[in-house]
Chain A
Amino acid sequence: MSTEAEMVELPQVHAIEPIPAHVSRELVRPFPYVLGAKTKAKPHSFIKAIHEGPEVFWAERCFNGVRGAWVPRRVEDLQRIYRDTEHYTSRGFAPFADLVGDTWYFVPAELDPPMHSLLRAAINPLFTPKRMAALEDKIRSYARECVATFRDRGSCEFLSDFAFEFPVKVFLELMGLPQNRVKQFLAWEHGLLHEPDIEKIKDATRSVVACVREEIEDRRVSPRDDFITFGVQAEVEGRKFDDNELVGFCFNLFLGGLDTVSSNMGMQVLHLAERPDHQAILRANPAMIPDAIDEMMRAYAAVATSRECIKETKIGNVTVKPGDKVHMATFLAARDPAVYPRPEEVILDRKPRHVSFGYGPHLCIGMHLARREMRIALEELLSCLPEFSLKPGVEMSYYLAAVIQPVELPLVWKV
């Protein structure tokens, strides 16, 4: 049996921030889900041991790859912290603007009351179930386009052939950007989220911001029916969005809607590739797909965000001080044994209440779109392909952060 340290490959960094004096050394625990870390073990296999430890612990390097943070693991604590805007701010949850010396912030993800609800109210009309339902046929046609490129080949690398490309196509459609920019956006996405080299993250950030600014200027001159135009025309408290809000709105759409969806789809398809029995059930009963997706979103939750303490408070018995980061790892809560019996097991009709889309006022604004994309993806894959499985002999490896994701997912089926 190998130790966790042997199973996780961590990037070298120049300077890990020291552990603050108020953090009890007994509560400093190993935590493999840090930026740039990879593993060949099952990526969620480290979670069971974490649930045998303290209710909240301190993990080094889990914010931004260098800074430590408190890590709660129980559903109850995550739900409470998500809702607690008195002691925690959402500002500073992603490092991108800071890294390049910019002042914009994610809209609405990094906003606090009272601005958060004002801007979220302005943006909500974009994401209503009805508006998302109107996209059904378009989304399905993109999924079919992707599947058609590999169906007759009998094999694919699911991440690059489908899981990345499909949500980018939908994103470009929503933003009013041409489909020939898919590769460009994929490259930026990888640069933002899967590069251990900070300079590459900065480059990708600058590129996305430059693109977004250009598109914003374009929509001011020639408005169209797309999300960027919506942002340019939207009002809050009787004024238009300012420059920081507009850039942050577009950047938030970009980051929120792509890698997270790809990761979840990757883990879902991996599960089905390893469980032909579950594949057969869903093929025979496509109506079970939505519940199955929610259960797989729980079992294979991929995302962690963060909060920063602004007023001293406690998580359990631990004192959290202003300036402390709190790492909100949905994949830990997703396997909380106090809430989910046999948490490691995927039970297709479990119908769990999970926090994989977050909880409270910042609950994923795009969840209706994300659920739709994932459902259509599985419907199309299961109806267009015969039973698929992992390519024999392949050795899987996974990113453990910023989102949990297979590096590659080679699939085969009979043609």
Chain B
Amino acid sequence: MAKITYVQPDDRAQTFDVPAGHSLMEGAFRNNVEGIIAECGGACACGTCQVFIDPAWAECVDKPRPLEQSMIEEVDAGKGNLRLSCQISVTDALDGLVVRVPTKQR
């Protein structure tokens, strides 16, 4: 279990307990976090569950695999902290993680 905070573009923050093994996307989806569409259901195919990882946490999250990388590099434009939330599995080590939801997903 980890406490994950999802911050909206207008700075509204919501914090939820997300079980280890769930993805950040599932944590958002099950708690009806606005702005996470996840049209493909978590298969790294739609690119509509993007989140920005708080820079303070950047080192704690696994690096994206090539399929995810192919969907985010253009949007991210080298900043390095945009991720697809379906591809990040929650572990106890992510307790306290803060992510920001972008203004739009597509």
Interface residues of A (CB under 8 A from B): 79, 82-83, 117-118, 120-122, 124-125, 128-131, 353, 357, 359-363, 365, 367-368, 371
CB distance from B52 to the nearest CB of A (A): 16
Q: With A129-B106, A363-B46 in contact, is A121–B70 under 8 Å at CB?
A: yes
Docked Cα-Cα span, A79 to B40, in Å, equals: 9
Interface bits B27-45 vs A (CB < 8 Å: 1, else 0): 0000000000001110111
Docked Cα-Cα span, A129 to B41, in Å, equals: 18
Q: With A118-B66, A120-B67 in contact, is A363–B74 under 8 Å at CB?
A: no
Q: With A128-B75, A129-B75, A130-B75 in contact, is A360–B70 under 8 Å at CB?
A: no
| B70 A122 Cβ-Cβ under 8 A | yes
- Set of chain B residues within 8 Å of A128, measured between Cβ atoms: 47, 71, 74-75
Q: With A120-B67, A124-B67 in contact, is A360–B40 under 8 Å at CB?
A: yes
Q: Which one of A353, A357, A363, A371 has the highest number of Cβ atoms from chain B below 10 Å of its Cβ?
A: A363
Q: Which B-chain residue is minimally distant from A362 (CB atoms)?
A: B45
- Set of chain B residues within 8 Å of A125, measured between Cβ atoms: 70, 73-74
In the complex, chain B residues 53-102 whose Cβ is within 8 Å of any chain A Cβ: 66-67, 69-71, 73-75
CB distance from A229 to the nearest CB of B (A): 18
CB distance from B34 to the nearest CB of A (A): 12
Q: Which A-chain residue is minimally distant from B39 (CB atoms)?
A: A363
How many residues does chain B have at the interface if contact means C-beta atoms less than 8 Å apart? 17
CB distance from B15 to the nearest CB of A (A): 25
Those 4 A-B pairs whose CB atoms lie nearest each other, nearest first: A124-B70, A363-B40, A363-B45, A121-B70
- Set of chain A residues within 8 Å of B66, measured between Cβ atoms: 117-118, 121
| B45 A353 Cβ-Cβ under 8 A | no
Q: How many A-B residue pairs have CB under 8 A?
A: 58
Docked Cα-Cα span, A367 to B75, in Å, equals: 17
| B46 A367 Cβ-Cβ under 8 A | yes
Give 6 CB contacts A-B under 8 Å: A83-B43, A117-B44, A117-B66, A124-B67, A129-B106, A363-B39
CB distance from A300 to the nearest CB of B (A): 18
Q: With A128-B75, A130-B75 in contact, is A361–B43 under 8 Å at CB?
A: yes
Across the interface, B39 reaches (CB within 8 A) one of A117, A353, A362, namely A353
| A79 B75 Cβ-Cβ under 8 A | no
Docked Cα-Cα span, A122 to B66, in Å, equals: 9
- Set of chain B residues within 8 Å of A357, measured between Cβ atoms: 39
- Set of chain B residues within 8 Å of A363, measured between Cβ atoms: 39-40, 43, 45-46
Across the interface, B67 reaches (CB within 8 A) one of A117, A129, A353, A368, namely A117
Q: Which B-chain residue is minimally distant from A116 (CB atoms)?
A: B67
| A130 B45 Cβ-Cβ under 8 A | no
- Set of chain B residues within 8 Å of A120, measured between Cβ atoms: 45, 67, 70
| B67 A121 Cβ-Cβ under 8 A | yes
| B71 A124 Cβ-Cβ under 8 A | yes
| A360 B71 Cβ-Cβ under 8 A | no
Q: A79-B41, A117-B66, A125-B74 are in contact. List 6 more A-B contacts (CB 8 A).
A: A83-B43, A121-B66, A128-B47, A128-B74, A368-B106, A371-B106
| B39 A360 Cβ-Cβ under 8 A | no
CB distance from A88 to the nearest CB of B (A): 14
| A360 B41 Cβ-Cβ under 8 A | yes
- Set of chain B residues within 8 Å of A83, measured between Cβ atoms: 41, 43
